[in-house]
Amino acid sequence: MQNQSLLAELKRETARRRTFAIISHPDAGKTTLTEKLLLFGGAIAMAGAIKAKKAGRHATSDWMAIERERGISVTSSVMNFDFNGCAINLLDTPGHQDFSEDTYRVLTAVDSALMVIDSVKGVEAQTKKLMDVCRLRDTPIITFINKLDRDGRSPFELLDDIEQSLGIEAAPLSWPIGMGKLFKGVYDLRQARLRFFAGQEGQTGRDARPREAVVLQGLDDPALDELLGDTAAGELRRDVELLDGAGYPFDMDRYLSGKQTPVFFGSAINNFGVKELLEAVADLAPAPRPRRADVRDVSPLEEQFSGVVFKIQANMDAAHRDRVAFVRICSGRFSRGMKLRHHRLGKDFKASNAILFMAQERSGVEEAWPGDIIGIPNHGTLNVGDSLTAGEPLRFLGIPHFAPEHFRRVQIRNPFKAKQLEKGLAQLSEEGAIQFFRPVTGGGVLLGAVGALQFEVIAERLASEYDVEVELVGTKYNAARWLFAESKEPLDKLAREEPMAMVTDAAGYRVMMFTSQWMMERTIEKWTAIRFEATRECADTTL
């Protein structure tokens, strides 16, 4: 009887979870949209004005000091809130390509994505790369075309850009009324509704929590011409009629299989189109689905708890020098104090201090369900890719380490702080954005990153969080590959012939460094018994 009751609760709670990542090219307005989703969802009372630094305000999701100073997102944030009966797990990701590794890992932990496109610029380079990552897992994508308050491309041109550049059907579910100075709002095609918003009583400005001021139902409402004007109302009716004849009709199955993206238009900074978008996420985005493990697919409706660590964040609470493992729950119910098995170490531990997130803010969690993201504070025992279960040994797959493309040598300015440097590099590298390597034969520590801007971040964080000042010096290397073979013999032979190019990563895996593409290709051609890999599963357990 108890199992039946738990199963019914598990089905109910899983069905109402919506776990999605917001992705975009830099400056498309992703973080502003995140703020407004939180605002419409009732999670915050006032959006942080990203540009109002003099007033000491910043985006809720940008909690690190460097993010507040530069006005960019350099790490992913998790935010939980309820909306229309759904439990929303929203993950705001970095847009800058130098921080894309964090974004790619987040995409392995979500069930869908929300892609933001600038209406002026259309589909951009980073958008295409993110789309390729989503396509690897057939991740369902909802698209929000932002900044309609500026003069940009026509809506029809933007739809065509999505289809041609991203290779996916674009099915509009809302439609803009005008553009730039003539922009008056959006028409909800899904609900055949037009809404206007105003601030709450006693509040003014674009950061006030919105309330519905006027709602029109259907294009035949006589108030439409009065509110929009004859010209705008006529254009809206013509556009909708054209879409009915020439546009892609929304198809739920094609959306869920990643073949079609429902498209919404709006202006996040002015609140237009945001509520329509949030309602669509609640109604259309998928609930948690089965996830791939080494031995089988794991259904979210299985009674036994399982989860995977997809991100580590050091020093979210600078006063306690903590490290928090972000765990995506894959199946079963989590309850405070339950015993979990750490399968990489083969040890059990009690999860008595797990937390839920609102960016940097946190609260204790008594229970959580599939699709939820919980944080488990630890002291370095949990790594990206680790699997946790309450029973069956499982190893969840698909969370990658990427080979760095940029390298720096670390020179410490105060040698007496070498231990602090060692600790800082060890903890910060656990996050996965920076990797550090130890030469097999002498030399100082070598740092590697997918994006060069990561080095500026690591230097600032070492100074602010560990009180260690370093100089990061350029190197001759421009590529690295992990080395794998059926036996150690060819690996040992390569190490003897190329000792200066051999390093080990923080987990002890062998890596070879290269000074040119030609040298790498020549080496790979010569050593056929060795696999030279540009990615490594975070869950790899065999050296």
Q: Which residues contact 295 (CB under 8 A, 6 or more apart)?
A: 394, 395
For 308-355, the pLDDT digits (tens) are 999 888 665 555 566 888 999 999 999 999 999 998 888 999 998 898
Residue 95 in marked binding region: yes
Residue 25 in marked binding region: yes
On whether the 20-73+95-284 domain is CATH 3.90.1150.10, my answer is no
Give pairs for 132-139: CB < 8 Å, separation 24+.
133/103, 133/104, 133/107, 134/23, 134/107, 134/258, 135/258, 137/107, 137/108, 137/258, 137/398, 138/257, 138/258, 139/107, 139/110, 139/111, 139/112, 139/113, 139/258
Q: Which residues contact 95 (CB under 8 A, 6 or more apart)?
A: 23, 24, 25, 26, 27, 28, 30, 31, 72, 73, 126
Which parts of the chain have pLDDT scores under 70?
1-2, 45-76, 95-100, 197-214, 314-322, 358-362, 539-543
Q: What sign does the dihedral 475-477-480-483 (CA atoms) show? A: negative
Residue 128 in marked binding region: no
Determine the topology of domain 291-389 in CATH: Rossmann fold (3.40.50)
Residue 322 in marked binding region: no
- Asked if residue 92 lies in contact with residue 79, where contact means CB atoms within 8 angstroms, the answer is yes
Comparing CA positions, the residue from 114, 276, 88 lying closest to residue 197 is 276
Residue 161 in marked binding region: no
Residue 93 in marked binding region: yes
| pLDDT computed for residue 15 by the predictor | 97
| pLDDT computed for residue 2 by the predictor | 54
Q: What are phi and psi of 262, to 5 degrees?
A: -70, 135
Q: What are phi and psi of 200, to 5 degrees?
A: -65, 155
**What CATH number does domain 400-537 carry, 3.40.50.150, 3.30.70.3280, 3.40.50.1110, 3.90.1150.10?**
3.30.70.3280
What is the residue type of 59? A
Residue 148 in marked binding region: yes
Task: Provide the token pair at 66.
Answer: 């460097």
Residue 26 in marked binding region: yes
Strand, coil or helix: 38: helix
- Identical fold for domains 20-73+95-284 and 291-389, yes or no, is yes
Residue 31 in marked binding region: yes
Residue 45 in marked binding region: no
Residue 28 in marked binding region: yes
Residue 29 in marked binding region: yes
Every domain of the chain and the residues it spans:
20-73+95-284, 291-389, 400-537
Altogether, the residues listed in the chain come to a count of 543
- Asked if residue 179 lies in contact with residue 162, where contact means CB atoms within 8 angstroms, the answer is no
Residue 149 in marked binding region: yes
CA–CA distance, 523 with 41 (Å, rounded to integer):
55
CA–CA distance, 388 with 391 (Å, rounded to integer):
9
Residue with token string 């954005």: 433
| pLDDT computed for residue 41 by the predictor | 87
| pLDDT computed for residue 56 by the predictor | 42
| pLDDT computed for residue 449 by the predictor | 87
